[in-house]
Amino acid sequence: MLNNVVNFYYGYAQVHKAGYWDNQSLDESLPLNADFIQELKDIDGIQDVAPRLESFALASVGERTKGVLVIGTEAEAENNLTKLADHIVAGQYWTKNSQKVLVAEGVAKQLEISVGDTIILLSQGYHGANAAGKYAIEGLLRFGSPELNKRMVYMPYSQATYFFGADQRATSLALKINSKDELPTVLTALNEQLDTSVYEIMRWESMMPELVEAKELDTAGNLLVLGVLYLIIIFGIFGTILMMLRERLYEFGVLLGIGMRRIQLGFTIWLEVVLLGFLGVLTGMAIAFPLVYYVKENPIDLSSMGEEAVEAYEKFGMEPVLPAIIDPEIFITQAIIVFFFTSFLGIYAFWKIRSLNPIQAMREG
H or E element at residue 141: strand 130-141
* Angle, in degrees to the nearest 10, between helices 262-297 and 328-354: 160
Query: How is the chain split into domains, by residue range?
Result: 2-207, 211-364
Query: For the chain, where are the alpha helices, taking DSSP H only?
Result: 2-5, 34-41, 75-82, 105-111, 146-149, 157-164, 183-193, 204-207, 209-247, 249-257, 262-297, 307-314, 328-354, 358-364
Which tens digit of pLDDT belongs to each residue from 271-330? 888 888 888 888 888 898 899 889 888 888 877 777 776 666 666 656 677 878 888 888
Output phi, psi for 331, to 5 deg. -60, -45
Q: The whole model's pTM is what?
A: 0.66
- List, for residues 223-278, the tens digit of each pLDDT value: 899 899 999 989 988 888 888 888 888 888 888 888 888 888 888 888 888 888 88
DSSP one-letter code for 275: H
**DSSP-assigned beta bridge partners for residue 68:** 57
pLDDT over 70 at 2, yes or no: no
CA dihedral (221, 223, 228, 231) in degrees, to 10, reads 180
Q: What mean pLDDT do residues 30-37 have?
A: 87
- Secondary structure (3-state) at 101: strand
